[in-house]
Amino acid sequence: MTESNDAKQSAADEAAKEQARQSALADELRELGQQIEQVFRTAIESERFKTMQRDFLSGMRELGTQMQNAARNIQQDPNVQTMATKGQQAVKQAQEAPAVRDFQELMTRGISQLNEQLATFVSRQREENEAAPPPTKVAECADRARAAYE
């Protein structure tokens, strides 16, 4: 019986040691988390961080101002205005060109013919479906199965 008691005591001691190790690990991890939090708080509250933050915000404001000025200058630049006018004229001329009109008419006729052919096809399919013999039991089961998965 003493061997059995010794084995039980040994197992209990090992379990206690394991629990102590886990508890120690949890304590150390908790301490590490607190230390990391303190490091970040200290860094954020430091004068150097505040200076970097001010410099960054100032740089972003300056960049925004420069971009607004550049956009304003581009809009007021006579060369840009001339290019925009020429671009608009080129588009207008292209739209008025006989080749463009011919192309548009050709596309319109082609699409119209395609629509007519599709309407004829759909009509023919409907007629064939109406004239088709009633579905068999196998076909009905297949249709129901297909519908269930759609």
Give percent of the chain with pLDDT exceeding 90. 8
Nearest to 135 by CA among 149, 118, 147: 147
User: Which of 32-41, 56-65, 93-102, 134-143 comes out lowest in average pLDDT?
Assistant: 134-143
User: What's the pLDDT band for 28 if we cut at 50, 70, 90?
Assistant: confident
State the first-to-last Cα distance of the chain, in angstroms, to the nearest integer: 71
- Cβ atoms 84, 78 nearer than 8 A: no
Half-sphere exposure of 66 (CA within 13 A, CB side): 6
Q: What pLDDT sits at residue 69?
A: 92
9 versus 1: the higher-pLDDT residue is 9
Q: What pLDDT sits at residue 75?
A: 84
Mean pLDDT of the chain: 82
| Alpha-carbon span 23 to 123, nearest angstrom | 79
| Alpha-carbon span 129 to 123, nearest angstrom | 10
| Alpha-carbon span 40 to 44, nearest angstrom | 6
95 versus 69: the higher-pLDDT residue is 69
Sign of CA pseudo-dihedral 76, 77, 83, 85: positive
Given a cut of 80, whether residue 121 has pLDDT beyond it is: yes
Find the Cα–Cα–Cα–Cα dihedral 36, 42, 44, 49, rounded to 10°.
-120
Q: What is the mean pLDDT of residues 85-94?
A: 86
Given a cut of 70, whether residue 150 has pLDDT beyond it is: no
pTM of the predicted model over 0.85: no
Given a cut of 60, whether residue 49 has pLDDT beyond it is: yes
Q: What pLDDT sits at residue 145?
A: 65
